[in-house]
Amino acid sequence: MKYIATFLILFVNWLIWSGMFDSFHMSLGVISCAIVTFMSHDLFFASGQFHFRYITEFIRFVLYIPWLLYQIILSNIHVAYLVLHPKMPIEPSIITFKTTLKKDMSLVAFANSITLTPGTITMDIQDGKYFVIHCISRKVADDLLSGEMERKIARIFGEE
Amino acid sequence: MIMLSVILIITGVFFFFTATFGLLRFPDFYSRLQATGKGDTLGSLLVLAGLALYNLSNGISLASVLVSVKLLLIAVFIFIANPTATHALTRAGQDAGVEPWTKEDKTR
């Protein structure tokens, strides 16, 4: 099963990047995707097994992206305001908070979402529980501590 | 269509500008990373979206749609790579013992 899934993902990518749909290039794609699948089938799915819930998780993650983009735009405007303000009203601080997320995948998604939204950087995750975050101002720290993003991530990966 | 793509590109360049400006103005290592690591993501997304739209304005065919999809995929990869790199840099700074600047010590 995981062979087929890896092969399909690779082949869709091949089609998008090559953009040639004649039989010669298609068969080249099939051959190279088959070789890569054979060599790296154990890399793609960390648990070593393909589950159908990966598909629903992927769809829910795609649905989460517009909200993330909206947050990114909002906080980017906030950071642009901080940069251009003559007095530069920044209050850098480092906060630590405990997360309820457990799976590796959701921790990575949460950490990357935090770093993507301007004004907050994930500095460290200690013992897979405590997030150490560098915040540029009071406002972004409050936004983060409201926990909305964490709840959304938990819903995506079915941890509620 | 071209108007819209020009607006997108100019907004993107504006965010690149604030990112660079922040890099020059902010007081310490971490807050400088805050400005650059992030302004870039939205800036590059807007610029690439503008280019994708501009590419479509010459007429929509399979080839031009594929080029636009590729441009947007570049943005997707930036969105994965950029926070990871920023995190790695902050982590390295933390491990090397760089002290974060706080509001209290006004000395730069």
What pLDDT tens digit does each residue of chain A (160 aa) get? 777 888 888 888 888 888 777 888 888 888 988 888 888 777 766 666 667 777 888 888 888 888 888 888 888 888 888 888 877 777 777 778 777 777 777 788 888 888 877 777 877 777 767 778 888 777 777 777 777 777 777 777 776 5
CA torsion, ordered A80, A85, A89, A91, to nearest 10 deg: 30
Structure tokens at B46: 């807007």
Name the residue among A72, A115, A121 with its Cβ closest to that of B42: A72
Backbone angles phi, psi at B19, to 5 degrees: -60, -45
Cα angle B98-B104-B108, degrees, rounded to a multiple of 5: 55
CA distance B14 to A9: 36
Residue B4 pLDDT > 70: yes
Model pLDDT, residue B10: 92
CA distance A23 to A40: 25
Model pLDDT, residue B105: 54
Fill in the DSSP letter of residue A93. E
Q: What is the pTM of this model?
A: 0.76
- Interface ipTM > 0.85: no
Q: Which has the higher per-residue pLDDT, B16 or A146?
A: B16
Residue B103 pLDDT > 70: no
pLDDT digits (tens, 9 = 90+) for B63-88: 788 888 888 888 888 888 888 888 88
Helix locations, chain A, DSSP H: 2-18, 23-44, 53-84, 104-116, 138-145, 148-156
Contact B41 A119 (CB under 8 A): no
Chain B interface, Cβ < 8 Å to A:
14-15, 18, 21-22, 25-26, 28, 30-31, 33-35, 37-39, 41-42, 45, 62-63, 66, 69-70, 73, 79-80, 82-84, 86-87, 90-91, 94, 100-103
**Where does residue B37 rank: exposed (0-12), middle (13-18), buried (19+ CB within 10 A)?**
buried
